[in-house]
Each structure stands twice: as C-alpha cells, then as structure tokens.
Amino acid sequence: VEAVADRTFVHAEPGRKWVPRRFDGDDFLELLAWYITEGNVYTSETKQFGEKTRGASTMIKIAQNAVADGGASDHAAIGQLLDGMGFDYYVDDRSYQFTSQLLGDLLRDLCGDESHEKRIPEFVFGTSRQQKRRFLEVLIDGDGDRQPNSWRYTTSSKRLRDDVLRLCAHLGLTASYNRDSGSWRIYVAENGKNTLRMHRSGSRSTAENGAYCVTVADNNTLLAGRNGKFQFVGQSLYGVLGWDRFRLYDKEMGAAVTATGREVINHTESAANDAGYEVAYGDTDSIMLNLDDISAANIDGGVEVNDALREAHPGMDDDGLESLAAAVEKSFELEERINESYDEFALEELNAHHHRFEIEFEKLYRRFFQAGKKKRYAGHIVWKEGKDVDDIDITGFEYKRSDIAPITKEVQQRVLEMIVTSEGGNYREEVKEYVHGVIERFRSGDISVEEVGIPGGIGKRLNNYDTDTAHVRGAKYANLLLGTNFGRGSKPKRLYLQRVHNDFYDRVERERDLDARGDPIYKEFRENEDVICVEYADQLPEEFEIDRDAMLEKTLKGPIERVLDAIGISWDEVESGQTQTGLGSFM
C-alpha cells in the first residue's frame, strides 16, 4: 500500500464511515474554547430493537442561547465556526449538536468532561499571543460577562480557574478571584497595571564572572503566585538574602532592603501630608489616606458620573455618586503627585539618579475600620483596580481562618459589615442588638452543633503526640465511645461538655464491654468528661450536655470582643443587653 499511497488510514471498527479531515489551527483552538466553556460529550449505549440493533454514538453538544442580550451573536458565531470546519450538525435556539466519536474522545481527553473537570490543554499555552488572546475571548463570550475595560469569568472547575489565571499571566493581565456560591469568579481590569512591567522591571546586562539564573522554556512564564495574585519573582529578593542557607546570603544586604523600603514608605507619608492628607493606615508596601469629604468642586473641570458607577451603586443618590467620582479622580491626582516626588527623594536621600519607586492607586474605601493592630482591618470598597465595585474587604480577622466555628465566621463578618456599611455611622446600637440576640440563641440551644463546633486538623497519628491537646483528647474519646475513626488528616469539630449523663456510661459499658479499670482512655474521660469531637451533629449522643458558656467564650467572646472594644462597646453590654453607664453620666 505504501508504494502507491502517501498516506493510509486504518478503520477502528468495521462498517463505520470514517472520513479523514484537516482543521485550521485557529478554528480548532476556537472549538476547544467553546467546548471548555459551554460543551459536553455524551455517548449512548448500544440498544436492541427487535431484530435491529442501534449502535452506540457519541454526541458533542455546545450550548449557547440565541437571546437578545448579545447571546445571538455568539450563537451565530458557533454556527459559522462549525460550517467552516465542515461539520454536519443539528441546531436549535439553545445549542449545536453533532456526532463524532473520535473528536468526542479527544475533547474529553484534552479538556475534561463534566463542568467541574474542565481544563485548558497544555499546548494552548505554547501558542502565539494572538491565539491565546482569542482563546480567552471565546471563554469570556461563553461563561463571562463584560463591563467597560473589565470582565468577569465564572467556572465550577478549580483546575480551569488556575488555567485561566495562568493564561492571564501569559497575556500580561492582572487577575484576581474569589469563591461565590460554589463557583470561582475571576476578575480582570483590562487597563490595570501588571506587577511585571518590562520597561521598569526588566533589563539586560553582561555578567563577566558568570551569573546565577533561572531559565524556562519558550512560551513559559516564571511567576510566583498565591490566591490568584501573581508577583514577579524579584519580589522575593529580600527573603533569600536574609536566609542563611541561600548561597548568596548577605545579612547586610537584606537589612539594606528593609531600610530602603522603610525610608520610601516614610517619604510617601510625608508627600501625602504635604498634599494635605493624613495617613490612616500604613504597611510595609502600602499606605491608606483619609480623603475626608471630596466633592466635584474639588476637581478641576468637574467630574462625570458614568453608567458603570450608577450600576455598581444603585442605592446612592446623585450627590453621593459625584462625591465618589471625585474621590476616584483625586486619588489618581495623588498617585501622580507622589510618584513625581520619588525622583528628588531618590537623588537627595539615596544618591540614586535612577530608581524604580512607584506607587499605584489600587482601592477606594467608602468606610474603613481598624481593630487594634496592623493587618487587621475591614472596609467597604467602592472602586478597585479600574472597576466600580460594591464589596466588603476583610483582612486579618479570624473570619478568614479555617479553624474557627461557623458561628464565629458568621457573626464577625456580619458585625464588620454593619460597621463599614451603615449610613451615617449609626451602627453601635445595631451591633449591640444583633450580638445580644446571638448570645441569647446560643445559650438557649437554638444554634446547632455544626455551627458552634470548632474545627481543627489532626496532623499526626493520635498516639504520636507528646502532649495531647483538647482536640486530640476529644478525637481519642470519640473513637473509643462514638465509633468514629479520626486520625491523621481528619478535621473533626471540637465541643466542650458540661456533663455526661450516667445512662450513657451504663449503655456504652454494656454494649462495648468497657471498664475504666482496664482502659486508660475511658478512665480519663469518665474523670474529666470535658471535651468530645464529632464530624456530624447526629454523632453526638443525647446524654452529652454541651457547655454553652465555654463554647460561647471560645467561639464568640474572644474573636468578637476585640471588634467591640474598637467601637467602644464592652462584652458585658452586649451580653446583658444593657448599656453600661459610667460615673460621668451622673455629673
């Protein structure tokens, strides 16, 4: 055969029509993108109808509604793509369907099957910038929504979330994400500044005596990232210089990095003060300024309230919208003024004719709240990275930790939201009433075990702990008495106990043949009966009485009291429901 033909094809199954096809590379990439965002593959089973047999078939379906809000153009675009690729398909106003076992198997293998399994094939990251950009555009058309200069993409696949973030990094787009109602949402402001900017972050030099370097393959990106935010790896310079096991360890150079950073932040604060604004909060690489009341009259040429701003804040009146637009404009003016001041600072303070100091206007808070120490704050964000938003930013509080009870997370989040979103600042009475109500429900037993249980991870085998914590003891007791199987890798919920009724001991000794004289764990529990671990509420026997006061102390009082203190409310006030009156009130 090879003597008379350039190419041969072997049928996988007899009696099958099999037509070889070639697809344009750009069209194939676009088809992959539509499949990832809107497609699925279904293979029917072979069925017998009397003497006739219907063979199995593989159906590829790409869903896209033909609707008046813009979906019609996307629906038509899919049809044009399939026409150009030569597919015979069935179409209605909701989807396109066509059969191909070979292509169906390939799509499953490359891109996943179910929505939560979807992914971008690895070879896509090796395509041209133009192809990667088109691929991303199709993903957004399918499962995204756009606003002027920004867009949002939604997926239920964690792998696809990471792949889209990686694609954004390849394209120089600054992306962030969050978890919302079981889906991942990725946000990108098209005009946002990327951390890695070659005009100031990249340069070329010649090393005479060799250089330590990291190399990557073509079309690969070297970035360090966490929580969807990627940073140029040079940001870690201070960390490695101060690590005594690093081959270029230099304690003095590490100290120089921190000293320079400290001087830059101090200068930035001075520049803001010179412009007439006070610093409300400062960190190692950022400052927050108090703008006070800004109106359109403070901006040369006035301000314009656009539709995006109105849509983001539908409950705000015209004066509030104008004030918000003016605050955004003033923030950009401050950004420019402070950045211009760095040239003189670098020359006079550091004797540096060239520098890369730059500050960037990142967020605008309508209200900002700080409790006690640094890196513990909350704020109502109304503008972020080029986009008008209406969101709550919470940093440093227990609310974000995974080892706190759901009731702690719920109450702390709600209290912080009350503080930063209340109109006119009249939130103190609202907070007191809310927390007092939670305490009353807590003590009456109206809050479930799932809500008050304190989750905690077990990192070792239970018998390998030198000293048993309350969580470890609770897990051991549960394994013995409740039949659980907690061990390394488990994350049960801890409950503190008031008492255990004797009926339980009678029953468990009879059913499990336990004897405190021969079992040290059982003996220890009978003597203390202070803690138990469960995974589900129905695992807790009815004879176990929860110590509501102890649980209240650990899940609410500690985490919430710090927030209350910062707004001038004592725990005794919210617990009793009465406002405490000092001696000064009677004078």
Nearest to 254, CA basis, from 375, 351, 246, 209 = 246
* pLDDT at 223 (0 to 100): 59
Between CA 368 and CA 41 the distance in angstroms is 49
φ, ψ of residue 180 to 5 degrees: the values are -145, 115
**Same fold across 25-113 and 116-194+221-249:** yes
Residue 369 tokens read as 């709240």
Question: Around Cβ 412, how many Cβ atoms within 10 Å?
Answer: 22
Q: How far apart are CA 225 and CA 168, in angstroms?
A: 13
Q: Which residues pair with 39 in a beta bridge?
A: 62
pTM: 0.57
pLDDT at 584: 44
CB 25 within 8 A of CB 61: no
Residue 381: strand pairing partners: 365, 391
**Spelled out in words, what is the top-level CATH class assigned to the domain 397-587?**
mainly alpha
The pLDDT assigned to 581 comes to 52
Look at residues 283, 292, 303 and name the one whose alpha carbon lies nearest to residue 365.
Answer: 292
DSSP 554: I
What's at 341, amino acid-wise?
Answer: S
Residue pLDDT tens, the chain, 587 long: 455 556 555 555 555 555 667 888 899 999 999 999 888 888 877 766 666 666 678 889 998 876 544 445 788 889 899 988 888 888 888 889 998 888 889 999 999 988 888 999 999 998 999 999 999 999 998 888 888 788 999 998 999 999 998 898 888 888 888 887 778 899 888 766 555 444 444 566 676 776 655 554 544 445 555 555 555 554 456 666 777 666 677 888 888 888 888 899 999 999 999 999 998 888 777 888 988 777 777 787 777 888 888 888 888 888 888 888 888 888 998 999 999 999 999 999 989 898 889 899 989 998 888 887 667 889 999 888 888 888 898 888 877 788 899 999 999 999 999 999 887 667 899 999 999 999 999 999 899 999 999 999 998 899 989 889 999 999 999 999 999 999 988 899 999 999 999 999 999 888 888 888 888 999 999 998 999 999 999 999 999 999 999 999 999 998 899 899 989 999 999 988 776 555 444 34
CATH code of 116-194+221-249, in short, is 3.10.28.10
Residue 477's closest CA among 454, 460, 500? Answer: 500
Contact 39/61 with Cβ under 8 angstroms? yes
Q: How are strands ordered across the β-sheet holding 144-147?
A: 144-147, 150-155, 183-189, 175-180
Is residue 330 within 8 Å of 322, Cβ to Cβ? no
Domain edges within the chain: 25-113, 116-194+221-249, 253-395, 397-587
Q: What is d(CA 218, CA 225) in angstroms, rounded to the nearest whole number?
A: 20
Cβ neighbours around 307 below 10 Å, total: 10
* DSSP secondary structure code for residue 299 in this structure: S
Number of other CB atoms surrounding residue 216 within 10 Å: 8
Listed in sequence order, the residues at least 6 apart from 117 whose beta carbon sits closer than 8 Å to its beta carbon are 157, 159
Whole-number Å distance between alpha carbons of 574 and 143:
46
Position 69 scores a pLDDT of 46
Dihedral sign for Cα atoms in the order 96, 99, 104, 107: negative
Q: Is the CATH number of domain 253-395 3.40.640.10? A: no
Query: Residue type for 268, please?
Result: T
Cβ within 8 Å of residue 196, ≥6 positions away: 172, 202, 223, 230, 232
Q: What pLDDT is recorded for position 579?
A: 65
The CATH classification number of 25-113 equals 3.10.28.10
